Structure 1
Amino acid sequence: MSFCGYFLTALIILEQHFSAAEISVPPAPTLIQTAVIGSSVELICQAPQGYGGVEFKLFKNRSLIQTVHLTEEQRARFMLRGKDTEKENLYCCQYGNSMFSSYVQPELKDYSPPPSPHLMVKPSSGLVAPGETLSFHCQAPPDHEKHPPETFLLLQRAKATPGSMVAPAKLVSQSLEAHFSVKTMGREDSGEYVCLYQLKQVNSTASQPVHINVIELPVPTLSLSRHEGEVLECVGSPVYLNGFFSLFRVGVLSPEATHLASLTQHSARFPVPTHYEHGAQYQCQYSVSLGNFWAYSKMSTPITLPCITGYHTCTQVSTGSTDLALFAGSVSAGVLFIMVVSLLGFAVHRHIKNKSEGRRQREQDKLWQNVHSRDHIVDLTLQRVDIGSEGFGGMLSGRPSDSEAIYDCPMTTFKNPTFY
Structure 2
Amino acid sequence: MPGAPTSAPTPTLDRRLTLLLALACGVAVANIYFPQAVSPLIADSLRITPASAALAVTCAQLGYAAGIFLLVPLGDRLRHRPLACTLLLVTAGGLVLAGTATGLPVLATASALVGAATVVPQILIPMAAGLAAPERRGAVTGTLLSGLIGGILLARTFSGTLGQWYGWRAPYLAAAVLAVLLAAALALLLPRTNPSTDQRYPALLTASLHYLRTEPLLRRSCQYQALVFAAFSAAWTALALHVTGPHFHLGTPAVGLIALVGAGSMFATPAAGRRADRDGPDAVTLRSLLGALAAAALLLTGDLPGTPGLVGLAAGMLLLDVATQSGQVANQARIFALRPEARARLNTAYMTCAFLVGSAGSWLGVRAYTALGWNGVCALVAALGALALLRHLLRPHPDATPPAPPAPVPADRTTTPAARAR
TM-score normalized by the length of structure 1: 0.14
Greater share of residues in helix = 2
Q: Which structure has the highest strand share of the two? A: 1
Indicate the structure whose relative CO is greater, using CA pairs within 8 Å and at least 6 residues apart.
2
Select the structure of larger CA radius of gyration.
Answer: 1
TM-score by length of 2: 0.14
